[in-house]
């Protein structure tokens, strides 16, 4: 299974979510590959910082990504692609490469509008392949604005479904990444760990 965590918008949590889902997958005993399709290289840095060698990582930042990955699909139980929107040809390839597209969205009106750019690229890719897409709301806060944005997201239909699992703004997401750990390794009983586990289960359908 290949999951692309992608958005044309910067700073929405693509790398945080891709790295944490990779950790969940590995903890579940699945052979896991993390592919960094963003020249910024955040997921590669995460792997570089990680002490355990359970998760393999590599960079593919060319528009042949969907072809190059074919061989790896036979070897890995789960491949996570961290896809930035800096290069639309690469991003399109990362979408075509996946079985499921996960689009992180921040709960604000600007971010909801910005999600339309990602949707346009998804629609182009859907000309080649049926790709289910899901929105995950990230950096939720207990504010009226966030609640309204979440309501708007849940009413959003057609191109993608908003997942029930959402991630709140929590320091564990930042503190764990710098140690090369997922939130469930950093604080197994913490709320961030619960959120990531729920997201992993919902997006993969795996227990």
Ligand X SMILES: Nc1ncnc2c1ncn2[C@@H]1O[C@H](COP(=O)(O)OP(=O)(O)OP(=O)(O)O)[C@@H](O)[C@H]1O
Phi, psi (5° rounding) for residue 30?
A: -95, 135
Q: Which is nearer to ligand X, 13 or 180 (CB)?
A: 13
Give 40 or 88: the residue with its C-beta nearer to ligand X.
Answer: 40
Q: Are 124 and 156 in contact (CB under 8 A)?
A: no
Choices 94-102, 150-158, 162-170, 199-207; region in contact with ligand X by CB under 6 A: 162-170
Q: Does 26 participate in binding ligand X (rule CB under 6 A)?
A: no
Binding residue (CB under 6 A) for ligand X from 46, 76, 135, 173: 173
Neighbours of 51 (CB within 10 A): 8
Q: 38, 46, 93, 153: which one contacts ligand X (CB under 6 A)?
A: 38
Q: How many residues bind Mg ion (CB under 5 A)?
A: 3
**Is residue 175 part of the contact set for Mg ion (CB under 5 A)?**
no
- 112-117 long-range contacts, Cβ below 8 Å, gap at least 24? 112/149, 112/152, 112/153, 112/156, 114/7, 114/8, 114/9, 115/7, 115/9, 117/8, 117/9, 117/85
Residue 198 phi, psi (nearest 5) = -65, -40
**Residue from 66, 170, 181, 197 that binds ligand X (CB under 6 A)?**
170
10 contacts ligand X (rule: CB under 6 A): yes
Token pair 């990444």: residue: 177
Whichever of 21 and 156 has its CB closer to Mg ion, that residue is 21
Of residues 18-57, those binding Mg ion (CB under 5 A):
42
105: which strand partners?
137
- Residues that bind ligand X in the complex, under the rule CB under 6 A: 10-16, 38, 40, 42, 84, 138-139, 167, 169-170, 173-174, 177
């Amino acid at each position: 299974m290949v999951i692309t965590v992608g958005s044309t918008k910067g700073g929405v949590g693509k790398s945080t979510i891709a790295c944490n889902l990779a950790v969940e997958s590995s903890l579940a005993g699945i052979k896991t590959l993390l592919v960094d399709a963003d020249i910024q290289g955040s997921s590669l840095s995460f792997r570089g910082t990680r002490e355990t060698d359970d998760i393999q990582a590599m960079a593919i930042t060319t528009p042949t990504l969907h072809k190059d990955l074919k061989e790896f699909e036979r070897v890995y139980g789960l491949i996570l692609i961290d896809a930035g929107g800096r290069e639309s040809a690469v991003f399109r390839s990362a979408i075509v490469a996946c079985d499921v597209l996960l689009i992180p969205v921040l709960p604000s009106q600007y971010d909801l509008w910005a999600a339309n750019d990602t949707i346009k690229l998804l629609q182009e890719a859907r000309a080649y392949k049926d790709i289910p897409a899901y929105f995950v709301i990230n950096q939720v806060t207990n504010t009226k604005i966030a609640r309204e944005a979440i309501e708007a997201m849940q009413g959003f239909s057609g191109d993608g479904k908003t997942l029930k699992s959402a991630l709140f703004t929590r320091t564990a997401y930042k503190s764990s990444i710098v140690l090369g750990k997922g939130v469930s390794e950093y604080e197994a009983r913490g709320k961030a760990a619960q959120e990531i586990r729920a997201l992993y289960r919902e997006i993969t359908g795996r227990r």
